[in-house]
Amino acid sequence: MRKFVTLFIALSFATLCMAKDVIIDQKDKTFIPTKVTVHVGDNIVFKNSDGFAHNAFSDNKNNEFDIGMQRPGEDISVKMKHVGIVEVECAIHPNMHLKIVVK
Ligand SMILES: [Cu+2]
């Protein structure tokens, strides 16, 4: 049991160390890129290169989030915690869509 716990901790630590930051820009009312594949534990870093506020949210089960009002130039990071498809929209601009595949 103790070996198992040690192995689990080691694997968790290794997973954390491999976590990446994946940048999604918001420019001209578009998520760039519009589709991305990441791994569990990776962080999606939302940027805002437009001169007005954006938002990003998802209602997808296990990966729900809402970054709230994102001002120009602000970076907001969201960790992807579970495997699945994450459909992201901007609450301010309903035509903005991003698809994140979490493996
Ligand atoms: Cu927007």
Q: How far is the CA of 50 from the centre of ligand 1 (A)?
A: 9
Q: How far is the CA of 23 from the centre of ligand 1 (A)?
A: 16
Structural domain count of the chain = 1
Q: How far is the CA of 90 from the centre of ligand 1 (A)?
A: 5
Tell me if 43 sits within 8 A of 78, measured CB to CB: yes
CATH at 51: 2.60.40.420
Domain of 63 in residue numbering reads as 20-102
Average pLDDT, integer, range 23-46: 98
The per-residue pLDDT for 14 is 59
Which is it for strands 35-38 and 76-79: parallel, antiparallel or unpaired? Answer: unpaired
Q: How far is the CA of 48 from the centre of ligand 1 (A)?
A: 9
Q: How far is the CA of 46 from the centre of ligand 1 (A)?
A: 11
The per-residue pLDDT for 13 is 59
pLDDT per position as a tens digit, 37-69: 999 999 999 999 999 999 999 999 889 999 999
Q: Assess if residue 10 is contained within a domain.
A: no
Residue 18: pLDDT band (50, 70, 90) is: confident
